[in-house]
Chains A and B, each alone.
Chain A
Amino acid sequence: MLISNMEVVPGKKIATHLGLVQGSTVRAKHAGRDIMAGLKNIFGGELKGYTELLSESRDEALQRLSEQARALGANAVVNVRFSTSSIAAGASEIFVYGTAVIVEDR
């Protein structure tokens, strides 16, 4: 599955548009990490636990996006965009969407 955030795929032409596909996940951190983050808010610096958590959730959202695209028979997803929102204290939603297409060699 080719995933790209450009509208075009270099060297290939878009044969069929299959419409919007999306993937999302809501993740919360466990209390221990929140306490560590509270301490970090005094000292400053990177919150490695959160960085990992968010990139794992992003990978999962991308996984769901490509599953949906595969179900439609697509071989690529173009124009992918990410969106993050914190929906409640300690939980955030990662949302990724794009256009499923079938690309062919030129």
Chain B
Amino acid sequence: MGQLIVFLTLLALGYGFGRLAESRHYRSIIAREDALRSLLVLPDRMPPIQFQNHASTLVTGSVVISVDYFKTVAAGLRGLFGGRVGAYESLLDRARREAILRMQEEAQSLGAEAVFNLKFETSRIGQNAGQGLGSVEVLAYGTALIPAPVSASAASVVAR
């Protein structure tokens, strides 16, 4: 009986706080995505010719997001029946978008115009990684192309 009460309390806490954290996170993601829309992020391997006078540097963004108790239980139940695990889909979606945003923020602080060759790296961390998802780390990285102020005249010569 005691165990059941603990379980239900954890489930309720996980549901309440997890929902709250998720909706707050999505609001912040959507607002920042709107603000950073002008900074291009492409998975293309080669930049087009217009970028040939830009300086390039590696930019990264990473985030570690934890599951909540409700999601762990919901995904465990889903594991019995099979099918889409919506609880984990939204978790990974949040983590990826957050990682891209942090990478874009770094690129923007360097004055970059675009980020090329975007790559993702996802890994699972945490001591309970064997049982459930635990927490997930997403890293997004790419090459930021920064317009060089010195070669601005050279760029205009090339453009002509």
Q: State in angstroms the CA–CA spacing of A60 and B50 once bound together.
A: 33
Contact B56 A4, beta carbon cutoff 8 Å = yes
- Most A CB contacts (10 A, CB to CB) among B18, B54, B69, B143 go to B143
Would you give the shortest CB distance from B80 to chain A, in whole angstroms? 21
Q: State in angstroms the CA–CA spacing of A7 and B119 once bound together.
A: 13
* B21 partner, pick from A45, A81, A90, beta carbons under 8 A: A45
Contact B139 A84, beta carbon cutoff 8 Å = yes
Q: State in angstroms the CA–CA spacing of A41 and B91 once bound together.
A: 13
Q: Is A71 interfacial (CB-CB < 8 Å)? A: no
B residues contacting A by CB (< 8 A) are 10, 13-14, 17-18, 21-22, 25, 45-47, 51-54, 56-58, 60, 62-69, 71-72, 98, 116-117, 119, 121, 123-129, 134-135, 137, 139, 141-143, 145, 151
Contact A10 B14, beta carbon cutoff 8 Å = no
Q: Contacts A5-B58, A5-B143: A45 and B65 contacting too (C-beta < 8 A)?
A: yes
8 tightest Cβ-Cβ pairs between the two chains A and B: A44-B68, A44-B18, A50-B64, A84-B123, A43-B17, A45-B21, A40-B66, A47-B64
Total of A-B residue pairs, C-beta within 8 Å: 135
Residues from chain B with Cβ under 8 Å of A18 in the complex: none
Contact B125 A5, beta carbon cutoff 8 Å = no
Contact B121 A37, beta carbon cutoff 8 Å = no
Q: Contacts A5-B143, A6-B117: A42 and B68 contacting too (C-beta < 8 A)?
A: yes
